[in-house]
Amino acid sequence: MSALAPGSTVGILGGGQLGRMLAVAAAQLGFDVAIYTDEEDSPASRVSARTIVGAYDDAAKLADFARGVEVVTTEFENVPAATAEALIAAGATVRPDPRVLAVAQDRFEEKSFFAANGIATPPFAKVDSQADLDAAIAKIGARAILKTRRLGYDGRGQIRINTAANAEGAHAKLGAPGILEGFCAFEREVSIIAARAVGGDIAFFDLNENEHSGGILSRTTLPSKAPAAVTETAQAAARKVLQAFDYVGVLTIEFFVMPDGGIIANEMAPRVHNSGHWTIEGALTSQFEQHIRCIAGWPLGLTTRIADIEMINLIGDDANDWAKYAAEPGAHLHLYGKREARPGRKMGHVTRLIR
């Protein structure tokens, strides 16, 4: 596929806030956007040219969607890989390759992929039964986290295990195939956001320093306080992933930085990422524009950061303070158009550029 001309239609699987910001970036480059989502009145659909609402396994609606777009991408990694494969079968170009979705959707497969490619991980073990959990604790240790293999995000689907005794019945409580991961006494959390173009060129945004509350990203700051060697190691890990999948688009990997300066991969997201929202105002090319450039076959944009950054998430009722942020000089307020604020729901973000 040659580079897409302005006026072409970009398809996005998923209708959340990441799809919304991707759609805005695509429009700025002259593209129309079509959304495929299982959600009525989605945030992304309200800023896009067309929306098809349907189940992610509805073959007829997916085929209709494929006929109306030149390229398809995903705005969240839990879109079934089979959905992307069905679109390919219907003649669509899908970027990134659905193979990476299949890996990123399963924590055990993801950790196994990292380990196979020389990317450090916490100790981990597959847990399909209480007996598996007991054996994993005996091997890894009792200070660990039991997680669902699939569909967990923002702290959901996780059980912290501090002693062998409180692991009793934990597998049944989890209620799904799991993975036990050894606890990491990390010093800080960081993420690297990378992009790879159709021709193989790779660019990195500056390393993000992240703070979480209740398993949800609450604050990102730049520059990171991590040593320069951390950035180099994180970039090398991201490069391995990008090249392994012949990846096209933006990809994020989250890491724990250990007291000795080593880094341990937590998870990857084959998409734009919450920790990169600052790039809209804080970089010469935003992560959203960069992703659209990649999937459209355009050259990469410059990722230069133009200021020090603080980005905070507005979660749940935090968004009710929109007037305060709107009145703050230099604050860049983004609200996602979600109709209802709920505890733990990402409603928007605010970016401050510090010069």
- pLDDT, tens digit, for every residue of 122-138? 999 999 989 888 888 88
Q: Write the DSSP string, 247-288.
A: --EEEEEEEEEPTTS-EEEEEEESS--GGGTTHHHHBSS-HH
| Least confident residue range of 46-60, 101-115, 168-182 | 168-182
Q: Please give the mean pLDDT across all residues of the chain.
A: 94
**Do 198 and 268 have their domain in common?**
yes
Among the three residues 151, 166, 182, which one is the final residue of a domain in this structure?
Answer: 182
Report the distance separating Cα 62 and Cα 347, nearest Å: 29
**Do 227 and 267 have their domain in common?**
yes
pLDDT at 234 over 70: yes
Map residue 346 onto helix, strand or coil: strand
pLDDT at 316 over 80: yes
pLDDT at 300 over 70: yes
Among the three residues 182, 199, 221, which one is the final residue of a domain in this structure?
Answer: 182
Contact 96, 87 (CB under 8 A): no
**Do 314 and 169 have their domain in common?**
no
Task: Quickly tell me which residue has 């040219």 as its tokens.
Answer: 49
Task: Quickly tell me which residue has 């392994």 as its tokens.
Answer: 244
pLDDT, one tens digit per residue, over 175-219 is 888 999 998 889 999 999 999 999 999 999 999 999 999 889 999
**Do 330 and 212 have their domain in common?**
yes
Report the distance separating Cα 253 and Cα 344, nearest Å: 22
In a domain, residue 102? The reply is: no
In a domain, residue 242? The reply is: yes
Report the distance separating Cα 226 and Cα 261, nearest Å: 8
**Do 192 and 335 have their domain in common?**
yes
**Do 54 and 177 have their domain in common?**
no
Residues facing 213 on adjacent strands: 216
pLDDT at 152 over 80: no
Number of structural domains the chain divides into:
3
pLDDT at 155 over 60: no
Contacts of 173 (CB under 8 A, 6+ apart): 159
In a domain, residue 254? The reply is: yes
pLDDT of 77 reads 80
**Do 246 and 347 have their domain in common?**
yes
**Both structure tokens of 170:** 């934990």
Region class of 19: left (phi > 0), else alpha (psi between -120 and 50), else beta: alpha
pLDDT, one tens digit per residue, over 238-289 is 999 999 999 999 999 999 999 999 999 999 999 999 999 999 999 999 999 9
DSSP state of 31: -
| Least confident residue range of 4-13, 138-147, 255-264, 311-320 | 138-147
In a domain, residue 201? The reply is: yes
Report the distance separating Cα 259 and Cα 264, nearest Å: 11
In a domain, residue 147? The reply is: yes
**Do 138 and 221 have their domain in common?**
no
**Do 332 and 213 have their domain in common?**
yes
Contact 130, 171 (CB under 8 A): yes
**Do 47 and 143 have their domain in common?**
no
Question: How large is the average pLDDT for residues 324-338?
Answer: 97
Domain coverage including residue 169 = 123-182
**Do 129 and 15 have their domain in common?**
no
Contact 109, 162 (CB under 8 A): no
The rounded percent of the chain whose pLDDT value lies above 70 is: 98
**Do 197 and 343 have their domain in common?**
yes
Residues facing 221 on adjacent strands: 209, 310
Element (H, E) at 263: strand 263-269
Check whether the bond before 96 is cis (ω within 30° of 0): yes
